[in-house]
Amino acid sequence: MSATTTLNCLSNGSFALVKEVVAEGLTRRRLLDLGLVPGTKVEVIRRSPAGDPIAFNIRGAVIALRRDVAGQVLVSPWK
């Protein structure tokens, strides 16, 4: 079983499966509503020229999340 990491630690071009959203409150709801439910495959597309935020392909839409927000999503890298 592959190791658990957070969404912000993955490099561009890599894929991961969502394990758990560890945020609380509104941020948690937002992340879930974006489709980051357990089992979802996420692709890391790119980083902003300034390094933050990071753009992900989440269920077919390109969505940018700030690093600290992405850091609240636990994932396991997917090959």
Partner 1 sequence: MGLTYQSTGQSSTREIFHTLADDCDYVIALAGNPNTGKSTVFNALTGLRQHTGNWPGKTVQRAEGSYIYKSHRYRLIDLPGTYSLLSNSADEEVARDFICFARPDATIVVVDATCLERNLNLALQVMEITGRVVICVNLIDEARRKKIRIDTDKLSKRLGVPVVATAARSGEGMPRLKELVSDVANKRVQTKPQPVRYSQDVEDAIARLEPRVKAIVGNSINSRWLTLRLLDGDTRLVQTMENYLNAGKTVPVMPVGQEGLA
Partner 2 sequence: MQKSLIPLLEDAQEIAGLRRNQLQDNIVASIYSTAEQIAGEVVSHTSPKRQDLDRQIDNILTSPIWGFPIMFGVLAVVFWVTIVGANIPSNLLATGLFWIEERLTDLFMALNAPGWLHGFLVLGVYRSLAWVVSVMLPPMAIFFPLFTLLEDLGYLPRVAFNLDRFFKKAGAHGKQALTMSMGFGCNAAGIIACRIIESPRERLIATLTNNFVPCNGRFPTLIALVSIFIAGSVSLSLSSFIATLTVAGLVVFGITVTLAISWLLSITILRGELSSFALELPPYRRPLLGQVLVRSVLDRTIFVLSRAVVIAAPAGGLIWILANTTVDGASLLSTLAGWLDTPAKFMGLDGFILLAFILGLPANEIVLPILLMSYVCGGAMTELASLADLRHLLVEQHGWTWLTALCTMIFSLCHWPCGTTLLTIQREQRSRRWTLLAALIPTAVGVVVCVFINNLVRLLDLV
Q: Pick from partner 2, partner 1, none: which does 51 bind, CB < 5 to 8 A by kind? A: partner 2
Query: Which residue lies nearer to partner 1 by CB, 34 or 74?
Result: 34
Residue 2 or 62: which CB sits closer to partner 1? 62
Partner interacting with residue 75 (select from partner 1, partner 2, none; CB below 5-8 Å by kind): none
Which residue, among 72, 70, 27, has the nearest Cα to 46 in the 3D structure? Answer: 70
Q: Could you say whether residue 13 binds partner 2 (CB under 8 A)?
A: no
**Residues with Cβ < 8 Å from 72, sequence gap 6 or more?**
6, 21, 22, 23, 27, 28, 31
